[in-house]
Amino acid sequence: MLATVALLRARNARTILDLGTGLGRHAVALAGEGFEVAAVDASPSGIEEARRVARAAGVDAEFAVCSFVDLPFGPSRFDYVLAWNVIYHGDRTSVRRAIGEIDRVLVPGGIYQGTMLSRRHADLEVASEISPGTYVQPGEDERSHPHFYCDARELLELHPGFEPLELRDRDQGDGDRVVNEWHWEFVLEKAAR
Ligand SMILES: C[S@@+](CC[C@H](N)C(=O)[O-])C[C@H]1O[C@@H](n2cnc3c(N)ncnc32)[C@H](O)[C@@H]1O
């Protein structure tokens, strides 16, 4: 994510949304870089902790609890949206809605950086498909733990209003150890319509 900061500065990006901020690690780092940051997550305790981390770091950010399928922001509000390891928590329908929301809140020409689960991921050796592209792990609840996986073609199909600047499938596992936790990591540019 920090490698993208140079691109954001070159684009004169100012406003940032960290979608699914978790404990706020990216939001706090980006606020520390001088950007105007909003950070949201579905987890109230996550947001509470992220607020605490931001206070301790001495940076300002706006925090809110909400779902990625219904963002409390007007259109074209952000120059950059980051959703790192977030929007694949759900099925294809919720992934589509999340991407629609990201598209809506981004300015034309804005940057979306994110990740999606890859069909190369080791999970799929044991998971059960409950709807197209959507799987649960053995013993997990279908309603609370569905995850969506895709290949590169589908990933691009899911983002019709975007052009890829970077796209790679990376094993996010443990340092140099191969654990086959493959994720698509991408930087996309919204069409400047
Ligand atoms: C793997 S964590 C990633 C956190 C953060 N982006 C990071 O990289 O440190 C996934 C986050 O997505 C959030 N999340 C899951 N479903 C969500 C939803 N429907 N709307 C908003 N956030 C959601 C979880 O609460 C969790 O904080």
Per residue in 76-87, pLDDT tens? Answer: 999 999 999 999
pLDDT bracket for residue 133 (50, 70, 90): very high
Q: What domains are there in the chain, each with its CATH number?
A: 2-190 (3.40.50.150)
Q: For 11, list phi and psi in degrees, rounded to 5.
A: -90, 5
Q: Which of these, 26, 12, 21, lies nearest to 42 by C-alpha position?
A: 21
pLDDT digits (tens, 9 = 90+) for 46-56: 999 999 999 99
Pocket of ligand 1 (CB under 6 A): 20-22, 25, 41-43, 46, 67-68, 84-86, 89
Q: Which of 41, 101, 117, 145 to mutate to test the pocket of ligand 1 (most atoms within 8 A of CB)?
A: 41
CB 152 within 8 A of CB 167: yes
Q: Can you give the pTM of this predicted structure?
A: 0.97
